[in-house]
Amino acid sequence: MRRRAMCLGLAAALLLGGCSPATDSGTAEPTSTPQAEASRRRCHLDPSSTLPPTPPALPSGDGARLVHYNAYPYSDGFRGVVALPDGTVYAVGQREEPRDGNPCGPRRTWSYALRWDGTRWHELPELGEVVEPQQIAASDDGDLWVFGHCPATVASGDPDGCAARWDGTSWSPSVLDNPQVAGAAVLGRNDVWTATYDALYHWNGERWQDRRPPLHIRALNRAPSGQMWIAGDKDGQVTLARWSGHRWDLLPRPRIPRLYGSKQGETMVHDLAVGEQGEVWVLASMYWTCGEEETQCTRPVLMRWSGGQWLVKAMSKEFVIGQRIVSDGAGGLWMVVSRGLGRFTGGKWKTYPITRGPFGGRSVAALARRPGAATLWAVGEDQTEAEEMPFTNGMIWRLDAEPA
């Protein structure tokens, strides 16, 4: 099941990029891995070109303002963000650099975390216990966890899952059986949940306990009240479940519109968000066979559970470019859209532009909203496909939206 989850996750990531037809021979075009491509470009660079760009003036932008920029000489980018009720914000990212200064030599990869205290960002001690961070979660009182892979097992190609807890002074690691984290929720110091495709884990203050899930999990999140939710698939259908404190209760399944008839396949969940008013949002993609070569195409689907009923809307294929959503705290929703950040409220969409970085990039990896406020945080990276730029830099944006 672990291998199946990893393969399905990879397939989802590839398909979200759009339709990818095969070559005339029926095999896919050969592609270079990001790591190999980065090494190749670095080997052909003048040493002066590895200098990072001049950071932009901060803040800037009419919509989501750029409020932090990591000018790093090689690879740097943020993967996750969490905001607390008191205004504290944590962002986690990953960095990479040559071990010996040789762009073509072995590289060192590690994770890092920043803390916003309301005035400025502080970098926490190096997070050596987790690489390739996938999730960051915290309780309202600041109990912070980061989930990703164990550094010692990454080179094997079959890494273990690792978690690290920040106690205000240092990181404390723990090991999970499965590295493909689908979500995490911190309810208290001795009450932490995380999920993979086919497993649930609960931290009781001493160790991780396996809990049998009622469905294949694609996303896990908690409500502001502390109530936990999971979303994914069961028997090939989108399924949502709520934790009662003793068991998982399955909700009625949403009816997915059959827009492509017999060519339509399963609908895959990407993320879920829970609002202060009890509404639950699920973002997914429907898949269907398209084109003369019978490739797989996708279309985003937005679902809302509220008042015992589902509202399901198939969206424009060009509308959504991200897989993360977050409640706006007033019954609506935030998500990444093609023109910036989109807010769905009152049955309508409003778009807020995102400031670009010096490279011209503005890739958003994660969103977080401060509970009880309209402040939205977005993290990601500034990147370019130009051959002379072999690096990316982490970016953090802030949007102080008007009340709904």
Nearest to 336, CA basis, from 326, 322, 355: 322
For residues 174 and 176, what is the distance between their CA atoms, to the nearest angstrom?
7
- pTM value? 0.85
* Residues 278 and 266 sit within 8 Å (Cβ to Cβ): no
What Å distances lie between residue 284 and 11, 179, 377, CA to CA?
A: 14, 22, 22
Residue-level pLDDT at 96: 87
Residue-wise pLDDT for 24-35, tens only, equals: 333 233 344 444
Give strand ranges (E) for 197-262: 199-203, 208-211, 216-222, 228-234, 237-243, 248-250
What Å distances lie between residue 56 and 7, 37, 59, 359, 363, CA to CA?
A: 39, 27, 8, 10, 16
Residue-level pLDDT at 103: 65
Structure tokens at 77: 């980018």
Give first-to-last CA distance, the chain, whole Å. 43
Residue-wise pLDDT for 195-235, tens only, equals: 988 999 999 989 999 889 999 999 999 998 888 999 999 99
Nearest to 242, CA basis, from 252, 232, 251, 254: 251
Three state DSSP letters for 342-363 = EEEECCEEEEECECCCCCCCCE
* Residues 358 and 54 sit within 8 Å (Cβ to Cβ): yes
* Residues 366 and 137 sit within 8 Å (Cβ to Cβ): no
Is 90 exceeded by the pLDDT of residue 100? Answer: no
Q: How many residues does the chain have?
A: 404
For residues 184 and 92, what is the distance between their CA atoms, to the nearest angstrom?
14
Buried (b) or exposed (e) across 386-397, using 16+ Cβ within 10 A? Answer: eeebbbbbbbbb
For residues 142 and 88, what is the distance between their CA atoms, to the nearest angstrom?
8
Residue-wise pLDDT for 353-394, tens only, equals: 999 998 888 999 999 999 989 999 999 999 876 655 457 899
Please report which confidence band the pLDDT of residue 158 belongs to, taking 50, 70 and 90 as the band edges: confident
- Beta pairing partners, 381: 363, 394
- Label the pairing between strands 280-290 and 264-274: antiparallel
Window from 123-132, 151-160, 286-295 with minimum mean pLDDT: 151-160
